[in-house]
Structure formats: C-alpha cells, structure tokens
Amino acid sequence: MNTQRAQEIAESATMVNVTYDGKPIYIQNVDAERETARIYTLDQPDQEISVSLNSLIEPSPFQSDGIQMVCDRHD
C-alpha cells in the first residue's frame, strides 16, 4: 500500500477493508518517513504493532472471495 493511501485510510471516519497477514486491521497512524504503519487486528485491538506499508493489502472492489459468477447470454 502506498503512503498516501494509508494516510487517507488512517484519517478516514469510515472503516476501510484492509488486511495484514490475511487478517482485517485498523490503521492507527502512518510514519511516512519510515514507510510503516501502527496497526492492530480487529480481533485483538489491545495488541498494536508497527508494520511495513508494503505488507498492508486493500482488496480491490472487484476481487471476490472465491465466488465465481457466470453470466450466460441467450440471444
């Protein structure tokens, strides 16, 4: 994740879907100089850690969770 997007998410009042190591997280703050973020997983809010911004994933709205959609066109 790039620094600007991480800062936007950290400053947003809206909860944004971001994961770290496959787990949903909340971004507390961003250190742009070090390119790290202070985060916690949603299931363990009392355990904050600092991680590289490169390890944070914001899924594309077009990604699915293994659900396959098939569209049949009948002319």
Domain residue spans of the chain: 3-57
Q: What is the pTM of this model?
A: 0.77
| Backbone phi, psi, residue 25, to 5° | -135, 165
Q: Are 30 and 6 in contact (CB under 8 A)?
A: yes
What's residue 60's pLDDT?
A: 78
What's residue 74's pLDDT?
A: 55
Q: Is the dihedral of CA 13, 15, 18, 23 positive or negative?
A: positive
- Segment 4-27 shows an average pLDDT of 96
What's residue 37's pLDDT?
A: 98
| Dist. CA 51–CA 54, nearest whole Å | 8
pLDDT digit string, tens, across residues 17-69: 999 999 999 999 999 999 999 999 999 999 999 999 999 999 876 655 554 44
| Dist. CA 39–CA 18, nearest whole Å | 10
